[in-house]
Amino acid sequence: MTRHTETAGKIRFVLNGELVEHAVRPDTTALDLIRGHAGLKGTKEGCAEGDCGACTVLLRRDEGPRQAANACIMTAAQLDGTELTTVEGLKQNGELTELQEAMASNGSSQCGFCTPGIVMALTGLIEKNADPDEEAIHDALAGNLCRCTGYRPIVEAAKETAKSASAKTTGLALPEKQNEVAFGGSVLHQPATLAALSALRAQYPDATILAGGTDLGVARADFHSDWDRIISTARVAELRSVSETADAWTFGAAVTWEEILHSVREDYPSLATLIRRFGSTQIRAMGTVGGNIGTASPIGDGPPALIALGAEITLASTGGSRIMKLEDFFLDYRKTELRPDEVIASVSVPRPKPGEAFRVYKLSKRYDQDISTVCGAFRIAMEGGKVTACRIAYGGMAAIPKRAKASENRLLGKPLESDSISEAVEALSEDFAPLTDWRGSAGYRMKTAGALLHRLANDLAGEIVEVMAL
C-alpha cells in the first residue's frame, strides 16, 4: 500500500528500478526531469503537446501494470510515489528486450528519434495483453505519429514478441506518497480524502487542481504559466472510485478515460469508439472525466456524449455537495456552475434501457487523436416504430456543449424516417448558430450536424455508414 508522510522538499519515486529523489519544482515537466535532472536522453521531445508519442514512458501509480504515458505534459507532481520506466530501464541483465531486438532486426527503426516512444507504447500493450490482435496494436500505436518505416514492420515486431512479454508488474514497492512537497516557490498538496481536498480548495481557491493534466500540461510544457500551488486529486479515494448499479455507473472525477472505456464498452460500444478516438492510450491512461468536463471546452468530446446519455454531475465543497444535470453545468464559453470553493466529485451515467439506442459520431480532420469539428451524440427510445424519447447533444456548434431541444421535439412521436429527420435538421438553426474557425465554417458545421442526424437514421435502420475524418 502507498502511504503518506510529512512535508518534504523532494519528489520521490522509483526510476528504472531504483528509488530516487529530485529537488525540483513540482510543476517541472516530467520530460525535463528525465532528460535534464536524471540525464536520461532516450526519452525525446517532439511536439511537447502529448500528440507525437516521442516522449512516451511507462508509469505505475498503484498495484496494477505499468501504463504508457506522455512525459512532456506530465509534471513532477504526478511522479511522487510512483514507478517510472524510461527506455533505458527496459534492458534485462544488460540486454535489449525481445521487442527492441525485433524492431532493430526487422527494419522498424530508421532515424530512431521516435523509436523509443514506439517501444514504450508497445511494451505497455504487451505487458497487459499477451496476444494482441492487429486492432489492439494499432490502437496502442495511435499516439505515436512517426511512421518512417510504415506500420507493417512495427506491427510484426509487436506480434512476434507479445507472447513472451515480461511480467505485468515489476513487483517493486511504491515509495510513500507525501502530503506536501515544496521547492523553488511551487507547493504540491496531495490530500487523501474528499474532505481534505475540499478544505484545501476553500483555503486556496486560486490553486491549480491537477488530475490527469492532459489539458493543463500542454500550457505548462510551453511555459505559458507556472503552478505556484498545486492540489492533486490522485490520492483522493472518493474521486478514484467506480461504482455500478443496475441503473447507472458513478465515476469519481479522477477516474481515467481508459478505466471508463473498460466499464462502458459492452453496453455503449459507440461511446467506446469515441473514447478510443479522442485520446491515445497515453492520454487515456492519464486524462480524467472530471478534467475533461472541468475545462468546459466547446469542442471537448466527452460532454456531448455524456449530456445525450443524461449524465449527472456532483459538485462538492466544505459546505456539502450538490447534484445537477451535466447539461446545466455549462453556462457560457469556459464558464460553468463550479464555484471557487467547489470541486467536481463524480459523474453518474445511466445504463441503457430496453428499446433505447445510443450513437455518437465525431467529425475531425484526422481520424485519431484530433480535435472535433463537430461531435453529435444521440440517445433514442422507440416503441411501435415511433420515437418515444430522445436526447440530442452537439459539441463544436456553440460556445458550450449543448442539447438540440428543438430538433428533439421534431422527432418525438414520429417514425425515424426521412420526413421527420428533415424537420429535425431544419430545427437545428433554432438550437445553434455556430462560428467559423480554422476547423470549419459555420455553414460546414450546420450541414454536417444535419448529416449526422441522417446518419443516425441510416445507422439504426441497419445501414452502417462508415464516415471517417472529414
Summarised one tens digit per residue, pLDDT across range 171-206 is 678 998 899 999 999 999 999 999 999 999 999 999
> d(Cα 351, Cα 337) in Å, to the nearest integer?
25
pLDDT for the residue 8:
62
Q: CA Rg, the chain, in Å?
A: 23
Residues facing residue 440 across a β-bridge: 437
- The total of other beta-carbon atoms located within 10 Å of residue 242's CB is 14
**Which three cell numbers, joined as nine digits, stand for 411?**
422527432
Among all chains, which residue has been given the C-alpha cell 510513500?
Answer: 176
Query: What single-letter amino acid sits at 437?
Result: D
| Percent of the chain scoring above 90 in pLDDT | 79
Element (H, E) at 5: strand 4-5
Handedness of CA 37, 42, 47, 53 (dihedral sign): negative
- Kindly list the structural domains of the chain, giving each domain's residue range(s) and its CATH number in brackets, ordered by start: 4-88+171-232 (3.10.20.30), 93-162 (1.10.150.120), 241-460 (3.30.390.50)
22-58 tens-digit pLDDT? 999 999 999 999 999 999 999 999 998 998 999 999 9
Whether 467 shows a pLDDT value over 90: the answer reads: no
> d(Cα 42, Cα 34) in Å, to the nearest integer?
9
> d(Cα 383, Cα 389) in Å, to the nearest integer?
9
pTM for the model stands at 0.92
pLDDT for the residue 462:
82
Average pLDDT over residues 422-445: 95
47-96 tens-digit pLDDT? 989 989 999 999 999 878 899 999 999 999 999 999 999 999 998 888 99
Residues 6+ apart with CB under 8 A from 384: none
**Are 172 and 83 contacting, i.e. CB atoms less than 8 angstroms apart?**
yes
438-452 tens-digit pLDDT? 889 999 999 999 999
Residues facing residue 322 across a β-bridge: 315
